[in-house]
Amino acid sequence: MHRVSSKHRVNHSASEMFDLVADVERYPEFVPLCSALKVRQRMAKPDGTEVLVADMTVSFKLVKESFTSRVTLDRANLKILVEYLQGPFRNLENRWTFEPKGEGVCDVGFFLAYEFKSRMLAMLMGSMFDAAFARFSTAFEKRADAVYGRPKLAST
């Protein structure tokens, strides 16, 4: 199973970054390999979380695959959990955390574990997936700069 994990400090608030990652419908505009994303269902839970069921299509050259996942948005705890439901993976789990580190600064944690069902698909897309996921934190930070404005650097 492939695993990718990172923690990256960004000059945006934890709430802003949570909102950015939670806005899954916008992913095709900036997320590497994401060519389409459609939310099938939204449910507000009694515990205050929101659960989405979404179909995401990833494309690379001639390879195009879609999968369905359940996304749990936990705003109170600034966490997002993505659980695999259906598609070309044997399993897939993705977690995001957003830790405030001061005014307008937070640490964004990203964890992904995945395994393709097919060895052929793993050979075709595996290294490309690893490369794309390595660029995720940069893609989200650039998107935050575009949406919220580039943070001003403190003068010394």
The pLDDT assigned to 85 comes to 95
Count up the domains in the chain and report the number.
1
Does any domain span residue 153? no
Q: Give the CATH number, domain containing residue 17.
A: 3.30.530.20
Does any domain span residue 155? no
127 — pLDDT class (breaks 50, 70, 90) = low
Other C-beta atoms closer than 10 Å to the C-beta of 65 total 18
Q: Which domain does 82 fall in, by range?
A: 2-148
Other C-beta atoms closer than 10 Å to the C-beta of 64 total 11
Cβ partners under 8 Å of residue 14, min gap 6? 78, 98, 99, 100, 106
Is the entire prediction scored with pTM above 0.75?
Answer: yes
The pLDDT assigned to 153 comes to 55
Does any domain span residue 132? yes
For the segment 30-45, what is each residue's pLDDT rounded down to a tens digit? 998 899 999 999 999 9
72 — pLDDT class (breaks 50, 70, 90) = very high
